[in-house]
Amino acid sequence: MWPVSVAGQYPLASGDRPPRDTKGSLMGVSRRKIGGVLLAATLAVGLTGGTANATGDGRNDLRQAMSSLTEAGIAGVQLRIHDEQGDWTGSAGVRELSGGRVATNGRFRVGSITKSFVSTVVLQLVREGKVVLDRPVADYLPQYGFDPRITVRMLLRHESGLFNYTGEGHPDGTVEPGIPLFGPDFVANRFRSYTPDELIAVSLSKPARFAPGTSWSYSNTNYIVAGQLIRKVTGTPWEFQVRRRVIEPLGLRGTVIPGNWAGLPDPHAHGYYTYRDGGPLTVVDATRVNPSWANSAGQIISTTRDLDTFVSALAGGRLLPPDLLAQMTASSQFAPYGLGLELLDAGPTCGGVHFGHTGGLHGFQSFMFTTPDRSTRIEMSLTSGNADLDDPAVAARVIEALNNVLLTAFCDSPPADRTLGVPLAA
């Protein structure tokens, strides 16, 4: 999830079912553009860097870039890459503020990468004739009173104009809040439970951003509605359908849909949330949160291995037929975004066009991209620590180091513009 993010409800897992948790919580991220990269405000980190750990040989440049990222302020990083050199995994930094090694097979909150899973299920329902992309959403979900011009395709492309229930940023840097996801309000509410109806109600209490289909604005509300659409046409929760159609067939044993469960299965690194409330910097361990506020917009927990399996299967045609995959990867006319996929043109020396998604929840930032032919794939998780990214100097160092990791991973030779401009979504 990115600008501000997503939520979920039923504890569903593949091979590992989390225990019940009666409390709920939320999670949010503000979107901020620094140096061509959108970085969540909650990607606040700050630790001394650690030596990069890896499986496989070589990749010294990538190891050094990862170590430099932790030296710049990121607490921990784990990365998986597949390219002409083969498969490689590595990690750097620390597992938590007190130390410890970051596992290369650790679980993490993937945030808005969840949207790619949900969109895949919606498109499978299109294939089965149960959903029509250009049909009004109100035909399926009349109880919400949606603008009848909003279609299913507009939801998946963020062209609906629906207010983002996690908050909307304005050009002047101010944020119109949604649910409490920032500062002490987030800390006080991080174990609160939300239902999809509550989240949609927050959105509908605000004016639409624009007339449907006339512009683009990233809104987590779109994918909460998509989750409710799946429930309506199948008679079962979106979590069940994602597990049955994607997680189980692909054998994604490290992937969990936690619902209201606040935990994170081992092994995992800790993510921290930092904020100022008129005083010194406050650092909160945000590893345990109730992710129900993210629901079908960003609740999934996974691993780099499972994300690599998923995006490879998606690009390889295992999950969708060619015509629907083509529609999924076709860009909106307003932004480089398809149907639940971010589109990145990295340039001729950096592999050309990639598709995938980024995601962020308090303390966690994730990346998943592939080339259409699957020849280059990258998955990465970052965890934040105790630095303040509102400090321009810290933010600049982190952005430069993050870009260097991505350039080292993607590029055969350094491009003229050393900023890839990867779109980060909450």
Give the chain's domains with CATH numbers. Answer: 12-410 (3.40.710.10)
Asked if the model's pLDDT at residue 160 lies above 80, the reply is: yes
| Residue 173 confidence (pLDDT) | 82
Sign of CA dihedral 370, 372, 374, 376: negative
Asked if the model's pLDDT at residue 178 lies above 70, the reply is: yes
What is the model's pTM? 0.88
Beta bridge partners of 77: 92, 382
- Mean pLDDT to the nearest integer, 4-26: 26
- Tokens of residue 172, six digits: 């002047």
Per residue in 126-143, pLDDT (tens digit) is 999 999 999 999 999 999
**C-alpha closest to that of 9 among 313, 295, 319, 333:** 295
- Mean pLDDT to the nearest integer, 377-406: 92
Distance CA 94, CA 35 (A): 26
- 287's CB contacts (< 8 A; 6+ apart) are 264, 268, 270, 271, 363
Beta bridge partners of 53: 91
- Tokens of residue 314, six digits: 């998606």
- Tokens of residue 117, six digits: 């899973």
Per residue in 331-390, pLDDT (tens digit) is 999 999 999 999 998 888 888 999 999 999 999 999 999 999 999 999 999 999 998 977
CB 64: neighbour CB atoms within 10 A? 15
- 203-221 core/surface letters (b: 16 or more CB in 10 A; e: else): bbeeebbeebbeebbbbbb
- Tokens of residue 223, six digits: 């994918």
Distance CA 245, CA 100 (A): 36
Four-CA torsion 129, 130, 132, 138, nearest 10 degrees: 160
Distance CA 65, CA 96 (A): 20
67 is catalytic: no
**Burial zone of 19 (CB within 10 Å; 0-12 exposed, 13-18 middle, 19+ buried):** exposed
Q: Which of 5, 14, 68, 112 is catalytic?
A: 112
Question: Which DSSP string do the residues of 255-299 spell out, in sequence order?
Answer: -EE-TT----PSSB---EEEE-SSSSPEEEE-SS--GGGTHHHH-
CA distances from 369 to 356, 358, 372, 409 (A): 4, 8, 10, 11
